[in-house]
Structure 1
Amino acid sequence: MNAPSSPHRRGLLTLGSVAVILAVWQAVAAARIWPPVLVPEPAAVWEKLITTSTEGYAGHTLGEHLLASLRRILLGCLYGIGGGIALGLLIGMVPTVRALLGPPVTFVRTLPPLAYLSLLVIWFGIDEEPKVWLLLIAALPPVAVSTADAVRGVHEDYLNAARSLGVPRWQLPWRVVLPSALPEILTGIRVAVGVAYTSVVAAETVNGIPGIGGMIRDAQRYNQTDVVILGILIIGLSGLLIDFLLQTLDRRLVPWRGRD
């Protein structure tokens, strides 16, 4: 009986938590524990939202900054996810490839983006290429690892059944292994998109205008804390929307997940 009202309750709880955070933020800012240049009021950030959306910041509107960052994330994630799935299939199905490429993938997965950003700038310059490459490298390892683990977990009975039905050996990865591993692969994709999204500020530290990360970096130089907070909020809210879309895709593609 309580099931229909549970989404309503969750919505109220979410709104309540947001209201509490805003109230605490307003109280701290109004108390002037720190100067406004360090902790601006919510109204100041709202005013910057209106200003940057209409008049722009650093020659571009807020929408243009966001679209530029989303384009980089989309390209980096598409390349990273495609390469990660292909590499994960090879690592999971071919022991020799697993021995050769497993450790390098794990090594790259442990590196923070700033560790190789400077190298990418040396190789590709300061235009779009190093940004997309950084996001690609950030997104690829989680997908490759989750795909490889999922492939190794595919039950041998599925493969034997497919062979007995006449499925050619070269079609097994696409017709049996990949569909069976899809739930874990989608989880890896969600992780990869999250990693790429958190790396966008690092990617845009070099010639990142237009871009949300570049806007944050530029505002930080001039102590424009309200713009910095606005950029952080935009990244977080758009990230929540993207994750919601990925969860919706997950439910559509693997509706059996979580069911007995």
Structure 2
Amino acid sequence: MTSHAKKNYFISMFTGIVIFILWTAITWHGRMSSVIFPSPSEIWDCFLNLIKDGYKGHTLWEHLFASLRRLITAFFLAGVTAIPLGLISGYSDKIRAVFEPIIAFIRPLPPLGYYTIIILWMGIGDGSKIFLLFIGAFAPLFISCVAGVARVRVDYVRRAFTLGAKKRQVFFYVILPAALPDLFVGMRNAISIAYATSVAAEMVAADSGIGWMVLDASKYLRSDVIFVGIIIMGMTGIVLDKAFLMLENIIVFWKGRN
């Protein structure tokens, strides 16, 4: 870790400590109702109780696994479809003209806006929930791949053709490596959007999942359970993002180098 990275790390740690101190001060000795804003100790006790007793017939880890199973399945399906289509669309104007209007139409729509239609098509099982997350992850992956290919320097491509490379070789040895940084940005955005969408996906006919747990707890004003669920989702999201960042540093090791 470089000195600059260490400095940023300590700044982040200091920020977290300041937030925790302010949080403790605001909720000290019941200054604020626990229904509105539970204290750190109340949330910690709730977390321990959820680990011990679970919530509504499922352990805390079963709720987390249910959400991650839907998320990872949807993200994998989005990856194997959106990445090839995005790369090819960035390489071919005609193919991009086919898919761009569809993505432009779907991208701004709120998940709940079309979830009812998905339920009519696919029912209320896990399939409809996974498909909703799939749509949420598809657009950022597709757009990042198209942008990554579009940003490839033209002189790199021309030099490859000048040296006798075929179109297939140019794509795999010039365009794809150059587009990888944008691809990983798209993957990180896609996993975050899909995870956020999981709350909407677990609103209908679900009985497990962190998103469902948070929504169900809100019906009974269980703020402590809500905060535990939100913190778990946030921490899980950070871990997933860091995992993709580490993978990017391994695969795209030349990024940022002259």
The normalised TM-score by structure 1 is: 0.91
**Equivalent residue number for residue 154 of structure 2:** 156
Matching residue's letter, 2:66: A
Distance 1:164 1:7, change over 3 A: closer
**1:96-175 pair list within 5 angstroms:** 96-164=94-162, 166-175=164-173
2:203 counterpart residue number: 205
2-side partners of 1:157 and 1:9: how far apart? 38
Unaligned runs of at least 5 residues, structure 2: none
Alignment of structure 1 residues 216-255 onto 2, 5 Å: 216-255=214-253
1:208–1:215 contact (8 Å) kept in structure 2: no
**1:48 matched residue in structure 2:** 46
Q: Are residue 27 (structure 1) and residue 18 (structure 2) matched?
A: no
Q: Matched residues in 2 for 1:158 and 1:57: separation?
A: 56
Flag the 1:8–1:154 CA change in 2: closer, same or farther, 3 A: closer
State the one-letter code of the partner of 1:159. V
Whole-Å separation in 2 of the counterparts to 1:14 and 1:52: 29
Letter in 2 for 1:220: S
Alpha-carbon deviation of 1:53?
Answer: 1.0
Within-5 A mapping of 1:9-24: 9-24=7-22
Q: Which moved more, 1:93-102 or 1:171-180?
A: 171-180
Query: Relative to structure 2, which stretch is displaced further, 107-116 or 187-196?
Result: 107-116
Q: How far apart are residue 68 of structure 1 and its match?
A: 1.1
Hey, what's the Cα distance between the residues in 1 that align with 2:133 and 2:184?
Answer: 18
Deviations 1:29-88 (A, max 9, x none): 236454222221111110111111121111111111111111111111111122111121
Of the structure 1 ranges 161-170 and 102-111, higher mean CA displacement relative to structure 2 is found in 161-170
63-72 vs 170-179, which moves further: 170-179
Rate the CA distance shift 1:6–1:64 in 2: closer, same or farther, 3 A.
same
- CA offsets 1:180-215 (integer angstroms, 9 cap, x no match): 211111111111111111111111111332210011
Equivalent runs, 1:60-71 vs 2, <5 Å: 60-71=58-69
TM-score relative to the length of structure 2: 0.91
The verdict on how the C-alpha distance between 1:89 and 1:9 changes in structure 2, with shifts beyond 3 A counting, is closer
Q: Please list every run of 5 or more consecutive structure 1 residues that lacks an aligned counterpart in the other structure.
A: none
Kept in 2, the 8 Å contact 1:68–1:210? The answer is yes
Q: Return the alpha-carbon distance in structure 2 between the equivalents of residues 5 and 164 of structure 1.
A: 43
Which deviates more, 171-180 or 84-93?
171-180
Residue 152 (structure 1) shift: 2.0
Alpha-carbon distance between aligned partners in 2 of 1:17 and 1:175, rounded to the nearest angstrom: 43
How big is the alpha-carbon RMSD for the aligned residues of Structure 1 and Structure 2? 2.0
1:148-178 Cα offsets, whole Å, 9 max, x none, are 1111222334334444555443454334321
